[in-house]
Amino acid sequence: MLSKADNDALCRVGRGTPMGELYRRFWTPVVLADEVGGPDSPPLKVRVLGEDLVAFRDTNGTVGLIDPYCPHRGANLFWGRNEECGIRCVYHGWKFDASGQCVEIPNSPEGESYKDRVRLTAYPTWEKAGILWAYLGPADKEPPKPNYPWIDLPDTHRYLKRFEIECNFIQAIDGDYDPSHAYFLHSTLDGNRTNRANSQQFTTSQGVFEGVTFFESEAEEKDYGLCFRTRRHNGTLRRVGTSHFILPSITTAGIQGIGINANNFRVPKDDTHTSWFRLRWSFDPLPESELNEYRYGGFIYPELLPGKPLPVENKSNDYLINRHLQKTYSYTGIKSFTIQDLAVQEDQWGPLADRSKEHLVKSDEMIIRYRRYLLMLARELEAGREPVAPFRPDAFYKTWNEIQVEQDGTVADATRQPQAQPVRVPAAAQED
């Protein structure tokens, strides 16, 4: 269990908090690039790390991510006009470019000379792999752009969706390091013979739910975060899995396939709301079966409400739980794997769990380890020691899943992996 002080330090992400400051040292996914629209599209409300912002793409295609409140009288620029390389406040016509600089003050005679003294907070942005990234930390600490094995793959090799969930980001991450929950939460009552995970996951003929009875995990600190190796036993089959915790909050978890990799990004909107970026990718073009699941499946990706990043099955409608299905087929009575997770994550002693009430056991070793690791880094930053991971961007390239199955002494790799790129460490980080 965690003390209240440690739980607050781990979970709260506003500016000035230990975790909020640590998170702000990294380039952060904010929204999907498509959500911002094309040049001169309507502005988009954005909330990330407890900050309300507005994003807009100007006439030249440059994306601005700025303080939403006009410094004249505080009107919200979300109502503004996006036109001619800037966003114009509809209250009095003050206009700002993507860098936050005021470029026009049309309602006052001193406007032409005064505008250069008016600037909004604006954060650096980067569009890559279908994501709008931003850096929200101190300008003099801005790190290089991260490098992931999927970052430069063409669209035919990856896809992702973003949806919003109603809980703290740590609650969602915890589920990725809980190896025993799948054998209950995601199971079917027919011995998992018709469980859809068996056709999606790399596995042996026995299926992914083969009656695991014991777990043991070990963790190794890496340049990018943590590497976990977990052994699962059921008496005859031993499954050995490797997963990663990639700073600040990316996991290599989820249903995998042969040559198909999964990543989850849990980005805090604030202390009780999270943006979940769910990515699937391959070093080869994705097969049609994968693309169909992405477009129409509703199993790995839940159906979203029209025009909103909110699942149709959500907390407000009890995730459309079917009690008859729960008695006759599904352990939960909830259809989508993702929604099964949300049902138990969004309300663990509320949207921000009180972990002083927890009673953790051996199968929770990975959860314990990554939490302690994040707390350690946050406390070190409080004490003045900057994290080095943001300045080792190529270290991220080594973070792909290795799913292995051991049986009768034979080991089989589930994924084809490229040659790892060398790690380049800037001089500023070498002394650490």
Is 267:277 a contact under the CB 8 Å cutoff? Answer: yes
Last residue of a domain, one of 115, 141, 167: 141
In a domain, 105, yes or no: yes
pLDDT at 259 over 90: no
Tally of domains in the chain: 2
Mean pLDDT computed over every residue of the chain: 87
The reply to whether 116 and 160 lie within a common domain is: no
Q: pLDDT-based confidence at 1, cuts 50/70/90?
A: confident
Rounded CA-CA distance 267/263 in Å is: 13
**Which of the two residues, 105 and 261, has the higher pLDDT score?**
105
In a domain, 261, yes or no: yes
The reply to whether 229 and 311 lie within a common domain is: yes
Rounded CA-CA distance 229/221 in Å is: 12
Residue 56 belongs to what domain range?
Answer: 39-141
**198-207, 285-294, 347-356: least confident range:** 198-207
pLDDT at 388 over 80: yes
Residue type, 192: N
Question: Is the sign of the CA dihedral 217, 174, 295, 198 positive or negative?
Answer: positive
Question: Is the sign of the CA dihedral 7, 8, 12, 15 positive or negative?
Answer: negative
Q: pLDDT-based confidence at 199, cuts 50/70/90?
A: low
pLDDT tens-place string over residues 32-60: 999 999 999 999 999 999 999 999 999 99
CATH number of the domain where residue 54 is located: 2.102.10.10
First-to-last CA distance in the chain? 31
Last residue of a domain, one of 141, 164, 180: 141
CA distances in angstroms from 344 to 206, 319, 339, 348, listed in the order given = 27, 11, 9, 7
The reply to whether 58 and 192 lie within a common domain is: no
The reply to whether 131 and 225 lie within a common domain is: no
The reply to whether 171 and 100 lie within a common domain is: no
In a domain, 43, yes or no: yes
CATH number of the domain where residue 316 is located: 3.90.380
Q: pLDDT-based confidence at 298, cuts 50/70/90?
A: confident
**128-132, 226-230, 355-359: least confident range:** 226-230
Look-up of token digits 């391959």 = 282
Q: pLDDT-based confidence at 200, cuts 50/70/90?
A: low
The reply to whether 93 and 218 lie within a common domain is: no
Rounded CA-CA distance 431/425 in Å is: 10
pLDDT at 430: 38
- Residue 273: count other Cβ atoms within 10 Å of its Cβ: 16
Last residue of a domain, one of 141, 163, 183: 141
Residue type, 43: P
The reply to whether 129 and 165 lie within a common domain is: no
List, as one string, the DSSP characters of 351-379: SS--GGG----GGGHHHHHHHHHHHHHHH
In a domain, 209, yes or no: yes
pLDDT tens-place string over residues 101-110: 999 999 999 9
Is 268:13 a contact under the CB 8 Å cutoff? Answer: yes
In a domain, 24, yes or no: no
Phi, psi at residue 279, to the nearest 5°? -115, 140
- How much helix, strand and coil, in percent to the nearest 5, is found in the chain? 25, 25, 45
pLDDT tens-place string over residues 138-186: 999 999 999 999 999 999 999 999 999 999 999 999 999 998 888 889 9
- β pairing state of 131-135 and 125-128: antiparallel
The reply to whether 249 and 310 lie within a common domain is: yes
Q: Taking Cα atoms as reference points, which of 200, 211, 201 lies closest to residue 238?
A: 211
